[in-house]
Structure 1
């Protein structure tokens, strides 16, 4: 069966491409820049095509012979809507590596149309949100009456440019949590607490991570928060940003920040990825006050993304699965995280 990596020349897209090649697969590489795509495809000895994401109809024409696509081109709030529509038209399975809450919500809203089209829609098939989604599923299995779920991760690895750019776009909107089943926009660093993610007790703050959307569809737990470690100084800075975060919505301000980020390295190199693993943590609580906690040490987020996205691609293409919307753990099972554990 034929599958495509769109956005293959980006930092993470290239990692996925090279991992697929090492595994002996031959995906079609695609993107907007013909010269970059052709150069990468020649180096990897893979087929390629270049096209813009102008309209769902024009994209669908490019997907006519493609069984599955992994969208690696962000910001996904821009690229996912037309590509999802195109996949529904072309009857092409859709995966992406987003961590953007709005994209998960859009994908979920298309669940009935996915069934009608006979396709699988599963966004977040990378570090966002495979490991935390699997932790959520295992906590839910151990405490099916949980009313509150907290998830988080601790990594010293640098962010890629793409991840940083997405973060800038989100700053203007603040944070997000789920309360009583509904996603709620909140302040940056809305809540703080001390957490042992697996590497000692640390101060942490809430962030608008993708699990605020996906963990609810995995577990139906109505109250969800996601945390990362943060120094008191950083927490104080984030709280101050709440007073001026509207400024990040001004195009000129955002363009200047994006231009500055464009000068940074694309992401952590191979040595850094090998040295910096990630602790993933989760905590479930029920109405009686009972608490259970899980911790796992997994590969560097970008390594996990390259492996996880290919793993789920091949799983879909090799198995006869029911069409519809999925989170990674609902598609493959919570055992998926076991493939990325670090001992």
Structure 2
């Protein structure tokens, strides 16, 4: 993707789009957003002012322009060639509100950090949200992937979700209609979640605080939380843990270029300094192959990989069987 691509697309779209109240930027560097600190630019990055601004923008956007949605960039790998079309990122200003509704319910915007949702629930004396204290993402990402930790998943708390589709139409979806499974939602892929209503249960704030402290202590002990990482790299296979399979296959500390499987928690992939997205994805696929060879278990990516490979990189192919 050349530097002129974003400007060209922006000039093409200007006469067609309404006057947005949000921010629209050409050739926006994704390496400044993703927690891995790697990746090429987005042709256009759009940060809508609010739900109405997002809906109007999408309604006017030509159908042939791809739309990609990202959150805080914590569980995301953007390839070095960048992302074609429009990348939508919801801002804290427009989508970061939290409201306690009563009856142990909380309404939160999609840009609210999971950790902040946990803190708001504690302050309101609402239990069932302490696990979010240890999830490095935002509400929108949690809704899409049914994020969970410490034995609790998002699907257990969701009452309803607000969303805007690719044509700019608004939707309200019940928790049951989200079609949740382990680290998965069957909601239409073109939906952009803008917020949700959650329900917990009455709980003493001191009890909630203790649970949150335990979550934090566990993370600091076993996870490389101060590194350039994307969190858990692979989903846990049935009746096992991804890290156990990675460790058994001899991949703890495995390094390719500037990418490494963490010696502390080997289901965390690190940018040790100077890694490219290509290094990281190649490392991940190498680990998948070695685990398959060792145990016959196929690990599935939990990190979302998007965008195009750089022109001078060989595309990283999914594992094909035994690593030769």
TM-score by length of 1: 0.29
Bigger proportion of residues as helix:
1
Tell which has more relative contact order, 1 or 2 (C-alpha 8 A, sep 6+). 1
**TM-score under structure 2 length normalisation:** 0.30
